[in-house]
Amino acid sequence: MENRLINAQEQKRAAAQYAAAMVEDGMTVGLGSGTTAMMAVEAIGDRVRQGLHVVGVPTSEATARLARSFGISLVSLDERGRLDLAIDGADEVDPQLNLIKGHGGALLREKIVARAAARFVVIVDDSKRVIRLGQRAPLPVEVVPFGWTTTKLRLEWLSLSCDLRGGETPFKTASNNYILDCHPAAAIDLATPLVADAIKTQTGVVEHGLFLGLATTVVVGKTNGKVDVLHRPAPTPAA
C-alpha cells in the first residue's frame, strides 16, 4: 500500500492533537494564538466535552472566543500566576529549540504566558524547522507608535533591515503597538542572547519575537502523518 504524504495543515493538526493529549485533568493551561494553536484549543475542547476539567489562559481574544465555544473555563493570568503547561505555535524552530514567534501579532502576551508556564510545548509542521533563526521568517519586533521611525533606525544600526507591518495602514497589536518585521544581516546570529538583549534594550521596543531557551518540548508534524517530539537539549557542562 502506498504511503500518503500529508500537507502542512494535517501536519499541524497531528502535532496539535499530540500536544493536547499532554494536558491532564485539573491543569491550568496557557492557550496560544494563531492557526496551529487554535487546532490545539479545538483538540483540548473535544476532551473537555468528554469530561476533562481544565482552566485556560488565552493569549488573544480570538483564542478566548474559540475556547469558550468548546466550554473551556477561562481565567486571566493574574488570577493564577503560574501555569502547568502552555501550548503555542511558532514561525521557526532551530535545533536548540529556540524560536521566532509573532507572525500573528500576539508575541507580547504569548511570551508572558510562556514564561509563566512550568512547561512550554510548541507545535509546528515540518517546514518550520530551520538550521538558523531568521532563515525563512522575519523577526517581529513590537514597538510603541510614538517615534517608531527612530526606533526603526536604532534597530537598523544593529544590522537589522526592518519594515513596518501593514505599511501605510499599520497593523496594531492588542496593546495598540506597531510591529516591525526585521531581517538580520548574514553575520547576525539571532539565537545569541546578546543580540536578543541588544534589541530589547532599544528605547521604544516593547518586546521581540525571539523565544530563546523557553520551549521545553517541540512537537513536529511530519509528512508521513507521524510526529517528532523534541526536548530541549541539556546544557553542555563547563570545561
* Nearest CA-CA partner of 124 in 89, 98, 85: 89
pTM: 0.92
Residue 125 is inside which H or E element, if any? strand 120-125
What are the grid coordinates assigned to 125, written together?
509542521
Residues marked active site are found at 110
Q: What pLDDT, on the 0 to 100 scale, is given for residue 238?
A: 42
Q: What is the dihedral of CA 10, 11, 15, 17, to 10 degrees?
A: 10
CATH of 8-130+213-226, one of 3.40.640.10, 3.40.50.1360, 3.90.1150.10, 3.40.50.300: 3.40.50.1360
pLDDT at 1: 36
Q: According to the model, what pLDDT value does residue 80 have?
A: 87
**Torsion angle, CA of 135/34/58/170, rounded to 10 degrees?**
80
Taking domain 139-206, whether its CATH number is 3.30.70.260 is answered by: yes
Q: List the 73-74 sheet strands across, edge first.
A: 73-74, 55-58, 28-31, 85-88, 120-125, 217-221, 227-231
Question: What's the pLDDT at 4?
Answer: 64
pLDDT score, position 42: 97
How far from each other are the two terminal CA atoms of the chain, in whole angstroms?
52
pLDDT in tens, the chain (239 residues): 345 677 999 999 999 999 999 999 999 999 999 999 999 999 999 999 999 999 999 999 999 999 999 999 999 999 988 999 999 999 999 999 999 999 999 999 999 999 999 999 999 999 999 999 999 999 999 999 999 999 999 999 999 999 999 999 999 999 999 999 999 998 899 999 999 999 999 999 999 999 999 999 999 999 998 999 999 865 544 44
Give 45-58 as a 3 state SS string. Answer: HHHHHCCCCCEEEE
Supply the DSSP symbol for 9.
H
Domain assignments of the chain as residue spans, ordered by start: 8-130+213-226, 139-206
Q: Which residue has the cell 469530561?
A: 51
Amino acid at 35: T
